[in-house]
Structure formats: C-alpha cells, structure tokens
Amino acid sequence: MTPPLAHIGHWYHALLYMVPVVVLGVGLWWSGRRDARARAEAAAPGGDERAPQD
C-alpha cells in the first residue's frame, strides 16, 4: 500500500487536470444517450411501450 501512495505526488496532479474533461465528456455522453433513447421512443410505432428500455 505504501510504495504506490508514496509516489502519488509524482503523477496525481496530471489526473486532476483531466477531471473537467472527464466530467464534461461523461455528461455529454450521458445526455446524448438520453436524447437518442427519447428519439427512439418517439419514432417507435405504437408509442412509448415499444421503445427500448434499460
């Protein structure tokens, strides 16, 4: 446990710079998935009950 943590200071800050990118990327991906599902539901013949469900 100790050795990797002892060296975390060498690289953890690089990951911190990526946090906004990851958060935004995940948010966009999730939002896009939700939109696609909504479009599929709207396009499916017969209404919402035939739309793909998770």
Partner 1 sequence: MSLRRLPAAALGVAALCLIAPAGASAHGISQRADLPIPEWLFAWGAALVLLASFVALSVLWRRPVLEHARERVILRVPLVLEVLAGVIGIAAFAAVVYAGLAGNQTTTANLAPTAIFVLFWVGVPCASVLLGDVFAGFSPWRATGRFAGWVATRVAGADLPTPLTYPERLGRWPAALGVLSFAWIELVYTGRTDPSHLAVLALVYAGVMLAGMSFYGVETWTRNADGFGVAFGLLALLAPLDWSGRELRLRPPLAGATAMPQVAGAVAVVVTMIGTTTFDGFSQGSIWTGTNGLLQRLTDALDGFGLGREAAIQGAGTVGLLAVVLIVAGLYRLGVAGMHSVGGGLSSDDLARRFAHTLIPIAFAYLVAHYFSLLLFQGQAIVYLISDPLGQGSDIFGTSSSTIDYSLIAGSGIWYVQVAALVTGHVGALILAHDRALTLWGDSRIATRSQYWMLLVMVTFTSLGLWLLSAASQ
Is 1 an interacting residue with respect to partner 1 (CB under 8 A)?
Answer: no
Cβ closer to partner 1: 13 or 53? 13
Owner of token pair 């998935």: 33
Cβ closer to partner 1: 12 or 50? 12
Q: Which of 1, 2, 14, 53 binds partner 1 (CB under 8 A)?
A: 14
Asked if 40 and 52 count as a contact pair (C-beta separation under 8 A), the reply is yes
- Cα(14)–Cα(5) distance, rounded to whole angstroms? 15
- Cα(34)–Cα(19) distance, rounded to whole angstroms? 22
Which residues form the interface with partner 1 (CB under 8 A)?
Answer: 6-10, 12-14, 16-26, 28, 30-32
